[in-house]
Chains A and B, each alone.
Chain A
Amino acid sequence: MAAKREQEPITMDTFLSGLWRENPVFVMLLGMCPVLAVTNTTENALAMGLATTFVLVCSTGLVSILRDFIPKEVRIASYIVIIATFVTVVDYAIQAISLEIYNALGAFIQLIVANCMILGRAEAFASRQPLGKTLVDALGVGAGFTLALLCLGTVRELLGAGEILGVQVFPDGFEPWVIMLLPPGGFFVLAGWLLLFAWLKERQNQRAAAAKEATADGR
């Protein structure tokens, strides 16, 4: 697949596939730990998504530049060192930007290192593709990851606190579902999104099958 892609020009599709069709969270089920852990508010989800995207773009970019230079035997070790470097950079940058966000995300900023999505992208895509394409792909995957985090974050904050980005949405009479902010809520909301996507996909398949049958009957 990778060899075929090399001939193709950079298209919108490279970006969109990471964002939607091969969404790292909903489709590939990668990098779940931060997805569940820091999505109890929309703000945290956004910060985490942006931090991860930054690390993803920088490290896959560098891997792509160095792809002919790094011997195959030490590639994983090299990738991990590169990723860890950028995570340390992000760690200090967030501390400098806002201590509040830093305290809210806690150890999960440093745990970006262990996000299998980034290592996976570096190994499967960046190590074989030129810089431009790698960057577009990384941006797409990063955007998909951020989107997924936001999907969870908004639902959990809305139901768990009746707010979005700290602005009250539901009237005072709304009793918050505190469980949504707690660990089980993370599992349930993600399961809910997966169910929704599975249902949509199944309906799409059924429609396609029905359409096919109809054309077959018509002949």
Chain B
Amino acid sequence: MSAADSTQAPQAPSPTSSLRLVFTLGLIALCSGLLVVSVVEWTRPIIADNHERALQQAVFDVIPGAVERRDFVLTEQGLVPKEETDARGEVIHAGYTEDGALAGIALEASGRGYADVIRILYGYDPACECIVGMSVLESQETPGLGDRIETDPDFLGSIEGLDASLTEDGTELKHGIRTVDPGEREEPGDIDGITGATVSAEAIGDMLHRSANKQLPQLQGHWSELERNE
């Protein structure tokens, strides 16, 4: 490492010549570089495969009935398969049923929970205009309290089939998504909260609302592009 070389060089007033020091460090850095590069090259495909499989599993979890997945990116030209474009933007995972029909899409959302940032993946079905599933990708919520957002049946049950239809002009959600106290759902966009995990549950409702309110209007009119054209 050149950084290490430069620090060691000023220590020259020593029995060993500074040339030898630089040479030794350079040699060690070279060997370590070679070792690291070979390991990275060797594991790269396996790691990519692992990530791919984890994502696949998460997408199938939030879109009931999905057995196949394709990724799209929303660009100026509409929805483009991810592998065909360099454009950066939110990735939309589309899930298809066995006979090739669109089962729904999965979107990522994130926001601040009680302890740290929570990342979730949620499924949306354009046919029923509703949210069909949610799974937590990453959270540091308190075990036994906040982490019940991953297990609480009432909470998760009220997210399944949650209304996410748009207004007439298609610019925003008709019913805002929010988390209310347990058992006090009134509006179609209300989610059952969790006692003891109020902040975490509200954070989920909040990030669902923000993400859906922003992305769904943009996707309006592009659904046909997701249909498989084979």
**Is the beta-carbon distance between B29 and A81 smaller than 8 angstroms?**
yes
Does any Cβ of A come within 8 Å of B40's Cβ? yes
**Is the beta-carbon distance between A160 and B138 smaller than 8 angstroms?**
no
Known: A72-B16, A74-B8, A160-B143. A92 touches B47 (CB 8 A): yes
Does any Cβ of A come within 8 Å of B36's Cβ? yes
Q: Which of A61-95 contact B (CB under 8 A)?
A: 66, 69-74, 77-78, 80-82, 84-85, 88-89, 92-93, 95
**Is the beta-carbon distance between A71 and B143 smaller than 8 angstroms?**
no
**Is the beta-carbon distance between B50 and A81 smaller than 8 angstroms?**
no
Does any Cβ of B come within 8 Å of A214's Cβ? no
User: How many of chain B's residues touch chain A, expressed as a range?
Assistant: 20 to 34
Contact with A along B1-26 (1 / 0, CB 8 A): 10010011001001010001100110
**Is the beta-carbon distance between A69 and B4 smaller than 8 angstroms?**
no
A contact face: mostly helix, strand, loop, or mixed: helix
Known: A73-B8, A160-B143. A96 touches B50 (CB 8 A): yes
**Is the beta-carbon distance between A78 and B142 smaller than 8 angstroms?**
no
A binding-site residues for B, Cβ under 8 Å? 40, 66, 69-74, 77-78, 80-82, 84-85, 88-89, 92-93, 95-96, 98-99, 103, 160-161, 176, 178, 181-182
Q: What are 27 residue pairs bridging A and B, where the CB atoms are less than 8 Å apart in the complex?
A: A70-B24, A70-B28, A72-B16, A74-B4, A74-B8, A74-B21, A77-B8, A78-B28, A82-B28, A84-B32, A89-B36, A89-B39, A92-B39, A92-B43, A92-B47, A93-B43, A95-B43, A95-B47, A96-B47, A98-B50, A99-B54, A103-B138, A176-B144, A181-B143, A181-B144, A182-B142, A182-B143
